[in-house]
């Protein structure tokens, strides 16, 4: 029984290693590609750009801080490890010097411990400051997201509102139809948002644990054989204080949340397409109405001009008749 359990554990660990090594290689390749693109952009296309100069200075500053960290923390630890190994070998061959050497080793260990403690205290302080800044930005982003969500379907159709139309009733009818369509999508969007909030309240993990949960799942490709078994096993290693039942429950709610989120995204995409199609058709309708009105105005002007011309002709006919009669009378008198 124990042998079977140990063999199963070894097999799982081996599979985990394969997956994570593949992910590491992928991330390293992506990192190299991005770094190459950034350097190319900085060195060629953006010379003299103030923003990129600041980024280069920041990169230099980070590199200097990393070198300082290596010298202050990593190198002393490696030196201590090397010294301890050498000291151990020496003590095995010369046990009479063990007491004095042990005192020196303890003194060196204490020095490295104090030095590391000071460095880690500074790092913890910087971490707290960064987390505070990130929290402030997170609040701003959430506020912006809420505002964006509220204004998502409330954007006015300026193309329709600014178009001059000779038929106010037609334009008003088109705008009312647009807002009716918007209201239907707005109602569906609110339903999805409420559904997402309800599902999120059922999450079994904290916000920080949720980040870890999602990061673990992302490491295992969807087409991987035995994917669920592997990521649940890894999650239990990350969260030993969480039961498998709790993780499975959280998985169920996460699937529901992602499905509802995808449906919400599709709804927004459909609204964008419907809005575009509606505005195009409405513009065409209003433009056709404008063209018809212009044609009617032109025909009315032509009709009025023809009527005026006919009236002038009618007015000239009696006058020409009187002139002809007078000419004939004069001719007869002369004869």
* Residue 3 forms part of a structural domain: no
With H, G, I as helix, E, B as strand and everything else as coil, classify residue 223: coil
- Predicted confidence at residue 147, as pLDDT, reads 54
How many structural domains is the chain composed of?
1
Which range among 159-168, 196-205, 260-269 shows the weakest confidence by mean pLDDT?
159-168
* Residue 43 forms part of a structural domain: no
More confident residue, 323 or 174: 174
Tell me which residue range forms the domain holding 330: 168-204+242-335
* Residue 255 forms part of a structural domain: yes
* Residue 22 forms part of a structural domain: no
pLDDT 10s digits, 280-307: 998 898 888 888 888 888 888 888 888 8
Best CA proximity match to 288, nearest among 167, 175, 180, 156? 167
* Residue 200 forms part of a structural domain: yes
* Residue 143 forms part of a structural domain: no
Spatial separation of the C-alpha atoms in residues 68 and 74, rounded to whole Å = 10
| pLDDT for residue 100 is more than 70 | no
Q: What is the DSSP string of 292-326?
A: HHHHHHHHHHHHHHHHHHHHHHHHHHHHHHHHHHH
* Residue 274 forms part of a structural domain: yes
In the DSSP assignment, the letter for residue 156 is -
* Residue 188 forms part of a structural domain: yes
pLDDT 10s digits, 123-159: 788 878 877 777 666 555 555 455 555 566 678 888 8
With H, G, I as helix, E, B as strand and everything else as coil, classify residue 8: helix
Mean pLDDT of the chain: 80
- Predicted confidence at residue 321, as pLDDT, reads 59
With H, G, I as helix, E, B as strand and everything else as coil, classify residue 220: coil
Structure tokens, 86? 């050498």
């Amino acid at each position: 029984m124990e042998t079977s359990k140990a063999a199963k554990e070894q097999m799982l660990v081996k599979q985990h290693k394969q997956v994570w090594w593949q992910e590491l290689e992928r991330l390293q390749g992506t990192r190299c590609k991005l770094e190459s693109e950034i350097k190319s952009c900085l060195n060629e296309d953006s010379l003299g750009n103030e923003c990129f100069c600041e980024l280069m200075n920041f990169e230099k500053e980070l590199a200097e801080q990393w070198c300082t960290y290596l010298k202050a923390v990593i190198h002393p630890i490696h030196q201590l490890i090397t010294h301890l190994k050498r000291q151990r070998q020496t003590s095995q061959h010369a046990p009479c010097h063990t007491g004095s050497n042990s005192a020196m080793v303890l003194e060196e260990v204490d020095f490295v411990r104090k030095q590391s403690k000071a460095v880690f205290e500074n790092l913890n302080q910087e971490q707290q400051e960064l987390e505070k800044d990130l929290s402030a930005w997170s609040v701003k982003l959430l506020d912006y997201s809420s505002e964006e969500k509220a204004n998502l379907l409330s954007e006015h159709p300026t193309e329709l509102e600014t178009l001059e139309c000779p038929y106010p009733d037609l334009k008003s009818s088109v705008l009312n139809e647009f807002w009716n369509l918007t209201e239907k999508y707005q109602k569906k969007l609110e339903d999805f948002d409420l559904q997402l909030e309800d599902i999120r309240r059922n999450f079994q993990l904290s916000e920080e644990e949720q980040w870890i949960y999602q990061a673990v799942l992302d490491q295992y490709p969807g087409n991987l054989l035995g994917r669920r078994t592997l990521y649940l096993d890894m999650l239990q290693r990350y969260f030993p204080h969480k039961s498998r039942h709790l993780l499975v429950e959280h998985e169920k709610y996460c699937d529901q949340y992602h499905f509802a989120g995808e449906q919400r995204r599709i709804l927004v995409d459909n609204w964008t397409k419907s809005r575009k199609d509606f505005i195009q058709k409405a513009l065409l309708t209003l433009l056709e109405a404008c063209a018809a009105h212009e044609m009617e105005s032109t025909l009315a002007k032509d009709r009025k001009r023809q009527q005026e011309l006919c009236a002038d002709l009618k007015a000239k006919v009696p006058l020409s008749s009187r002139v002809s009669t007078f000419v004939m009378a004069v001719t007869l008198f002369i004869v």
